[in-house]
A and B are shown apart, each in its own frame.
Chain A
C-alpha cells in the first residue's frame, strides 16, 4: 500500500500536508510523532473514518478511495482503534465476529464461530480463559488481544494498530508486542502508531516520523539510534544549535 501527498484540513488547521507512506506485506511500519503530529488523522484516513482532501492511495498497485470504514474493511485494511471499540456486554466470540457473523441459512452458527475463535486465539498464542465470558471481565491486555484478533478476521492485508500498548502493564505490553511479531510472520503489513519508542524499536522494521503534519524522516530501525528518532520527532535536529554544530564540524574537517 502506498500513500502519496495525503493532505487533510480541519477548518483552519492543516492536520496533514503532503504525507507519504509505504507499507509492504510482512513488514511493521511504526508511525511516531508528537501530539498533534497527525498520526491519528492519518490512521483515520486509512481506515475510512475521514477521507483525504488531496493525495492518492494505491493499494496493490490500484488507485483506491476509502469513503467509509466498511470500504476499508472490504479492501483488506483493518484497524484496532485506541479505545478498542469492543462491546462489554457481549462475549469474546460475539465481539470477534461482530458484523461478520458466520451464518447457516440466516441463523448464526455459534459453534463454528467458537471453534474459529479458539483457532485464531491459539495461532496468536493468546491467553483467554474462556471465549464465552463477557469482554467486561477480561483484563486490559486480554481485551487488547481480542481487539487485535478481531482485526484479523476476514484475513486483512494491512492491520493498523493505534497506540496498542498505551494503557497496558509491562507483561501485557510484552504480550501485545509478541502478537505484532506474529502478525508480521503471518505476512500482514502492520502499521503501528505509538508514543513508546521502546516498543517501536522492539518490533518495527521502519519508523516514519511525522512532525506538524509533514514527513520528517523515515528510518530503518536497525540503523538508527533512539536519539536520532527523538530528534526527528521534536525537530531538534534542525535548530540553531545543531546548525552551529554542523557548521563547526565542517570547518574542523576542512581547516582553512
Chain B
C-alpha cells in the first residue's frame, strides 16, 4: 500500500545522497552476496522459477540414467554424441522460444525442417549444387513460409495454431513431393553440412580458449554494466558476486571441454547452437525489437497503444521461427548423413516445443529467454539418448517419457504462473 506523499516531503535530507534507486526507505535492501542470495530465494518462493526447475530436472534425469546405464551414460563418447545430437533440435527450439514469447505457437516447425532437408538433398546431391546456394535457398523458403504465416495471422486473425497446423500438412506434402522420385537421399560424408554436424570437433586448445572468452565476456559485460549504473547515479551491483559467477562458469566450461576432449571433443555444431542462443538472447533482451516481443506477449493492446508496430513484430518472429526450423532441419539431416522421407516427422515438432517449455519459456507468452531452448533440448535429448543406452530402442518408450516430461514442465509452468499471481507478480 502506498503512503500518501504528503507525509514525507519534509524527510531530512540524508547526509550522503543515496543512489537514485535506493532512496525509498521501504526498499528491502540486500547488499552484496547475501543480498543476491536472499533476492534469489524470494524470487523462487514467489513463483519466478526461471531456469531452476529444468536444472533440477536435468540433475535428476542424469543421475537416473547414470545408475540405470551403469555409468555408460557418462562415457565421454556418449556425452560427445549427446552434444552433437542437441544441435538440430536446439536450433528449432530457439525459434519456438521466440514464438512462445509472443504467446503464439508454430506447429509446423517439424515439417519446415523436413522440407529444408529435402531441399538440401535434392539440391546438393541430385542437382550437384554447392552448399551455400542451397543454404540460401532453404533459408529464403523458410522466410517465405514465416512471412505467409505472419500475413495470415495479422491480416485475417486466424489463430496461429490453426495456420501452422495447416502448414504442417502442406509442407510435409511438399517435402514428400520433392523426394518423390529419389526417395531417401544419402548425403556424401565429405559435404560441408555433414562435417559440420557430425565430424567437426574443436581442438582442446580451441575449446579452452572459448571457455575463457565466454567467462571473460560475461565478466566484462557485468563490469561495464556496473560502471554505467554508477555513472547514471544508480547503486552498483555486487562485483564479488559476478566474479564468483564468472569463475564458476569458467570452471564448468573448462571441465566440460576437458572431459569431452578425452573423446573427440566438443562438436562444432553444438558450439554453433550455443553461439546462436547467446546472440538471440542478446537481441531479445537488449534491443527495442526484443523488448517489443515481450510487450506483445504480455499485453498486445498495450503494445499497440504504445506505438509498437505489432504486425511487424509478428511477421519478423514467425519468419525467424521458420528460418531456425530450416537451420535445424539442415543440421539434423547432416547429423543423420541422409535426407529421409520421415525427416521432420514424428516427435520433431513436439521435441522442440517441449524443449522450449521444459527450459522455462512460458506457454502463456511474455516470459522466458533463449537459454531455455538450450537447457530444454539437453533434457529432451538426454532422455532419448539414455533410453537408447538402456536398450529401449525404438520410438515408443521415447515418445512416452518425453510426453510425460513435457506434461510435467507445463504443469510447473502453470503452477508457477498461479503462484506468481497469488504473490502479486503475475
**Other-chain residue from B5, B225, B426 in contact with A111 (beta carbon distance below 8 A):** B225
User: In the assembled complex, which residues on chain B have CB atoms less than 8 Å from the CB atom of A171?
Assistant: 1-4
A: interface residue count bin: 35 or more
Complex formed: what's the CA distance from A106 to B286 in Å?
A: 9
Nearest CB of chain B from residue A112's CB, rounded to whole Å? 6
Is B424 at the interface (CB under 8 A from chain A)? yes
Instruction: With CB as the reference atom, state the residue of chain A lying closest to B9.
Output: A125
Interface check A136, CB cutoff 8 A: yes
* B10 located at the interface, meaning its Cβ lies under 8 Å from any Cβ of chain A in the complex: no
Q: Would A137 and B5 count as touching, CB distance under 8 A?
A: no
B295 on the A face (CB < 8 A): yes
Cβ–Cβ < 8 Å partners of B308 in chain A: 98-99
Q: Which of B229, B288, B297, B299 has a CB less than 8 Å from the CB of A101? A: B288
Q: Taking CB as reference atom, which chain B residue is nearest A174?
A: B4
Which of B232, B365, B421 is close to A112, meaning CB atoms less than 8 Å apart?
B232
Closest B residue by C-beta to A106: B287
B4 and A70 form a contact (CB under 8 A): no
Q: Which residues of B contact A99 (CB under 8 A)?
A: 292, 303, 306-308
In contact, B232 and A136 (Cβ under 8 angstroms) = no
Report the minimum CB–CB distance from B356 to chain A (whole Å): 17
- In the assembled complex, the Cα of A109 lies from the Cα of B286 at a distance in Å of 8
Q: How many A-B residue pairs have CB under 8 A?
A: 138
Contact B20–A119 (Cβ < 8 Å): yes
Stretch in contact with the other chain, from B21-29, B113-121, B133-141: B21-29
Q: Across the interface, do A136 and B424 meet the contact criterion of CB distance under 8 Å?
A: yes
- The answer, yes or no, to whether A87 is at the interface (CB within 8 Å) is yes
Most B CB contacts (10 A, CB to CB) among A99, A119, A132, A178 go to: A99
Q: Are A101 and B291 within 8 A (Cβ)?
A: yes
Q: Which of the four size classes fits the interface of chain B?
A: 35 or more
B232 engages A114 (CB within 8 Å): yes
Quick check: B307 and A70 within 8 Å, CB to CB? yes
| A89: interface (CB < 8 Å) | yes
Of A94, A115, A119, the most chain B CB neighbours within 10 A belong to A115
B-side contacts of A86, CB under 8 Å: 299, 302
Given contacts A87-B298, A108-B291, A139-B1, contact A127 B225 (CB under 8 A): no
Query: A127 to B287, Cβ gap below 8 A?
Result: no
Contacts of B305 in A (CB 8 A): 69, 81, 85
Beta-carbon contact of B425 and A137 below 8 Å: yes
- Contact of B6 with A by CB under 8 A: yes
Instruction: State the Cβ distance, B303 to closest chain A Cβ, in Å.
Output: 7
Please determine whether A111 and B295 come into contact, CB atoms closer than 8 angstroms. Answer: no
- B231 / chain A contacts, CB cutoff of 8 Å: 111
Shortest A248–chain B CB gap in Å is: 48
Residue among A81, A103, A114 having the largest count of chain B Cβ atoms under 10 Å: A114
A residues 79-94 in Cβ contact with B at 8 Å: 81, 83-90, 94
Query: CB distance B294 to A137 under 8 Å?
Result: no
Distance of B364 from chain A, by nearest CB (Å): 9
Residues from chain A with a CB closer than 8 A to the CB of B365 are 89
Q: How far is the CA of A42 from the CA of B229 in the complex (A)?
A: 43
Chain A residues with a Cβ under 8 A of chain B: 69-70, 73, 81, 83-90, 94, 98-101, 103, 106-112, 114-115, 118-119, 122, 125-134, 136-137, 139, 141-142, 145, 171-172, 174-175, 178
